[in-house]
Chain A
């Protein structure tokens, strides 16, 4: 089984996301791996463990710092890692999906996985776009994939624990929402070992696409309401909450 996982390096939302002009201030933000990519890598490695095959992880290197994420993927069980050397932190999903598709095209993938979404997917996610560019079907919200010989049984989630099972012939693209197991932990020593020994294949970006969106403004949301903040030490906060709940007959 030949599985390709397309990942996205994105601005971290752990802290404030700084803005410059009409876009994120890419120079003063940390880039991190999209959280759903951890699930698609895990799903790919689980399939490899079940039926054999190879897992290739590929991403666009936007700021020259993708290696960390790629070494981590290797430590978790990927066999091969590829970076598209773009050096364009503002590349949108369309652009990245196009570059990724061009690079994936010759890989003979049976399945391509991507995270179901990323927090900066203003113009949509890369998964369905890669599917469109490669003329493969796309299924998102995926919570498990079992590979058979030339098809896979795919679970798609709807809501509230409901979902549906599909049989999908290969090749196809899946947007992974959650792997059947929580993403595994890779020990730092193993990641470090990969950083020293592994080769990251480099590919130049090829192809052109654009979101067709003009950014008119980017700013923290205009807040129409804000919580009434309860100040004080944790003990004082607790006392005030308990008092509030009692006054409303809720405690």
Chain B
């Protein structure tokens, strides 16, 4: 065992996601406190890996890893963790990290702390703050044993601290990748032809509180009066009330408008990932304890229909 931290980075289309840099930055801080080293792991080629401020970077290159493949990536990470016995393995709690972190935990019998917002060193071990129950509770957990997996929410740490130029060491896959049961077929591109919500200065964003497809019109009217476009939380899109192109959040788009007016959105961590950088956030929600009020600049505990209709009269 060691006091090292292994960061499993993420990349797509030749670019690392911000969370990779965020994790490397945090890993450096933790490694320093623990007296170990922070190593970045890049699974797959097709990306310039000499971009981290890590103590070392390993890039595993193999044809089977040229696209994200949950089975192949998981096997590679498992082999590396077994070989290096790090103190902490850091993942992003993202659409790709979520495929591997808990699998590895059960596979190796080591703890996993998910939804992590912060990690600190305490008495030679780590304590992880996790944002669970849709953001309604924060749990502080201490993993037992010599290795722990921590899966962090995107946007939890500054990305700058992880940026650097450490030269990556290229290695072949530490595990045999023939006979995989999962094969990548093709990328699926987002449907085009709709407005680009990331290019808007004003968004009126609706959540499940809007209640049904027939009520989207009210939001459209309000948006039209404000010179805004309607965006949405995921359940609205899953229900088929608005197209996927309008979804803001972790599995949607990241937006940074001047105005983000929220109608009936609770403020789940996955939604916040997509909009917390907006300049002015105003939230209308009937639940006075909705987590969104911890993030919005202005809020009102009110019925969205009443407020939207009254606004229409005034605009």
Contacts and interface: CB of A to CB of B under 8 A. Distances in A.
A242 B141 contact: no
Contact of B184 (A124, A132, A164, A211): A164
A227 interface: yes
Contacts, number: 285
B103 A132 contact: yes
Contact of B98 (A140, A164, A250): A140
| Main secondary structure on A side of the interface with B | mixed
A13 to B, nearest CB: 4
A150 to B, nearest CB: 11
A182 B259 contact: no
B137 A164 contact: no
Contacts of A248: 280
B277 interface: no
Nearest to A231: B300
Given A19-B137, A182-B238, A212-B144, A227 B190 contact: no
A208 to B, nearest CB: 11
Contacts of B240: 182
B300 A237 contact: yes
A214 B141 contact: yes
A29 B245 CA distance: 36
A6 B289 CA distance: 31
A245 B226 contact: yes
A93 B184 contact: no
Contact of A159 (B245, B251, B293, B314): B251
Contacts of A217: 138-140
B170 interface: no
Interface string B129-144: 0111111111111111
Interface in A120-172: 120-125, 127-129, 131-133, 137-141, 153, 155-169, 172
Interface in B114-165: 114-115, 127, 130-145, 148-149, 151
B70 A140 contact: yes
B74 interface: yes
B250 A139 contact: no
B187 interface: yes
B251 A182 contact: no
Nearest to A213: B141
A238 B310 contact: yes
A138 B99 contact: yes
B220 interface: no
Interface string A210-251: 011111111111111111111100110111011011001011
A47 B289 CA distance: 40
B110 A241 contact: no
Contacts of B280: 248, 250
B99 A140 contact: yes
Contacts of B289: 15-16
A231 B288 CA distance: 12
B41 interface: no
Given A218-B139, A229-B301, A238-B310, A160 B293 contact: no
B172 interface: no
Nearest to A250: B259
Interface string B281-301: 111100101011111111111
Interface of A: 11, 13, 15-17, 19, 24, 39, 93-94, 97, 116-117, 119-125, 127-129, 131-133, 137-141, 153, 155-169, 172, 175, 177-178, 182, 209, 211-231, 234-235, 237-239, 241-242, 244-245, 248, 250-251
24 contacts: A123-B102, A123-B113, A137-B74, A137-B180, A138-B71, A139-B182, A140-B70, A157-B251, A158-B96, A164-B187, A168-B181, A211-B111, A212-B144, A213-B141, A216-B140, A218-B140, A221-B135, A226-B293, A230-B300, A235-B306, A238-B307, A238-B308, A241-B307, A248-B280
User: Which 4 pairs from chain A and chain B are nearest by CB?
Assistant: A124-B102, A161-B190, A212-B111, A238-B310
